[in-house]
Every structure is written in structure tokens, then in C-alpha cells.
Amino acid sequence: MAARKMAALACILVILRLSEAAVYKVGDSAGWTTIANVDYKLWASTKTFHIGDTVLFEYNPQFHNVMRVTHPMYRSCNTSKPISTFTTGNDSITLTNHGHHFFFCGVPGHCLAGQKLDLNVLLPASSTPLSDPPTSSSSPPPSTTITAAGVPGPSPSHAASLPSVMATRIIAVVALLVILAFTNFAS
Ligand SMILES: *[C@@H]1O[C@H](CO)[C@@H](O)[C@H](O)[C@H]1NC(C)=O
Ligand SMILES: *[C@@H]1O[C@H](CO)[C@@H](O)[C@H](O)[C@H]1NC(C)=O
Ligand SMILES: [Cu+2]
């Protein structure tokens, strides 16, 4: 009995976690490459990234790597001082803070050829009011890292996705509570 309850509760926690963290393979089936002419800017624009999501860079480590860099280094494809470098060919990077995350391939010429990625991780829903100050606030919004040129802000699809995420979670929890109730009656 207790074990079943614990198992059901564990399932609830796992489903809550799954419904909020996504894994995105960079470039989808093409992966992280220069030969397929993937438009990584377009790829990123079709996704909505949240804190806790993971991006997976898959590539042949003989020919490519992944460097996380600052915005100025990203713009100029400057590989001299990366924040971090990944070289396994199967690099999972969990997005732990909001704002822009800049990556490129550090192999000479590859960034210039377009093997570069700018991800904008949106603020969690609960803290959105803090970044959109009400009329009573006189201080400017703390959005220095979010206003880089050429990248759209939080899109309507993000706003629309929040209720559906909540609905998914609520349905999952209700379903598991029903299962839990039935297993209790059955034993
Ligand atoms: C690359 O960045 C380093 C330090 O961040 C800087 O010293 C160097 O001048 C830059 N190189 C180019 C070509 O911009
Ligand atoms: C890459 O890593 C992910 C987990 O991070 C794993 O599921 C996948 O099988 C790995 N792929 C390869 C080709 O090693
Ligand atoms: Cu490369």
C-alpha cells in the first residue's frame, strides 16, 4: 500500500518534471554541422526555450566543437576566450538562466559559415510580472540582456503555451490521483 502510494507520487513528480523540461536537438536531424546549410537562427526561432530545458549538440568531434561565448565574441566569431568548450560530439547543455546564450563552432571558418546559435531563454512565468513593471514602478525594467538586436521578444506562442502546459500538468495529476484511488480500493 505505502509502496504503491510512493510509486504513484513519484510518477506525479516525474510527469510534472517532464512537462516542464524539454530537450531540443540543435539543427534537428541535421545536427550541428556546416555541410547541411542549417539556418540555426531560424531553428532557434521556432522554439521556445525555458529554464531547465536542455539543448543537445550532436556532431562529429573530428570536425566540429561547441563553444559558449559572450555576445561580442559571438558577433565577431572570436574564438580566443570561450566561456566553455564542449568536444564530445554529443553535448547536452542544460539552460539554467534566462536571457541569451551564444554558441558557435570554434573550428576556423565554421562560425563565419553560419555554424552559430543564439538561444533566448525566457523568464519563468512566475517572475514575468517583475520584468514588466506595473505603472506604479518608476525604475526601468532590468532587461539589459534581453534587448539584443534582431531577436524577437517573448512571442504570443509563449503566452499561449503556458495555459496548455498547466492543463497538461493538471490532467496528469488528476489521472494519477484517480489511479491512486483505484489501487487503494483494490487492495
Ligand atoms: C578576440 O577577443 C580577445 C579577448 O576577448 C581580444 O583581445 C581580441 O582582440 C579579439 N580578436 C579579434 C580579432 O577581434
Ligand atoms: C547522446 O546523449 C544522449 C543523452 O544525453 C543519449 O540519449 C544519446 O543516446 C547519445 N547519442 C549518442 C549518439 O551517443
Ligand atoms: Cu564546425
Largest CA distance in the chain: 66
> Using the 8-state DSSP alphabet, how is residue 97 labeled?
S
32 and 116 in a single domain? The answer is: yes
If you count them, how many residues does the chain have?
A: 187
In this prediction, residues 130-159 reach a mean pLDDT of: 38
* 91 falls within a domain: yes
Domain co-membership, 92 together with 27: yes
In terms of average pLDDT, the best of 17-21, 34-38, 53-57, 172-176 is 53-57
What does the pLDDT average to over 109-125? 93
In a domain, 178, yes or no: yes
State in Å: Cα 114 to ligand 3 middle: 9
Integer Cα distance of 115 and 41 in angstroms: 10
Which residues, in sequence order, are CB contacts of 161 under 8 Å at separation 6+?
48
Grid coordinates 573530428 are at which residue?
62
How many structural domains compose the chain? 2
Q: Which of 81, 110, 125 is the last residue of a domain?
A: 125
Kindly report, residue by residue over 66-89, the tens digit of the pLDDT: 999 999 999 999 999 999 999 999
Domain assignment present for residue 140? The answer is: no
Counting atoms of ligand 2 from 1, which one is nearest the CA of 90? Answer: 1
- Side-chain-side CA neighbours of 126 within 13 Å: the count stands at 2
Instruction: Specify the pLDDT at position 65.
Output: 98
- Which residue type, as a one-letter code, is found at position 140? P
Nearest CA residue ID for atom 7, ligand 2: 90
Report which of 56, 57, 28, 54 is spatially closest to residue 42, judged by C-alpha positions. 28
Which of 23, 53, 88, 90, when mutated, tests ligand 2's pocket best, judged by the most ligand atoms within 8 Å of its CB? 90
Choice between 40 and 168, residue whose per-residue pLDDT is larger: 40
Residue 138 φ then ψ, to 5°: -105, -10
Among 75, 105, 125, the domain-final residue is 125
106 falls within a domain:
yes
- Per the domain annotation, does 138 fall within a domain? no
Number of helices and strands (H, E) in the chain? 5, 8
The residue range of the domain holding 59 is 20-125
3-state secondary structure of 113: coil
Which of 108, 80, 103 has its CA nearest to residue 27? Answer: 103
**90 ligand 2 Cβ < 6 A:** yes
159 and 68 co-located in one domain: no
CATH number at residue 26: 2.60.40.420
Mapping DSSP to helix (H, G, I), strand (E, B) and coil, where does residue 137 land?
coil
Q: Are residues 171 and 83 in the same domain?
A: no
User: How confident is the model over 48-67, as pLDDT tens digits?
Assistant: 999 999 999 999 999 999 99
Any idea of the CA torsion for 30, 45, 53, 18, to the nearest 10 degrees?
Answer: -90
Assess whether 52 and 109 both reside in one domain: yes
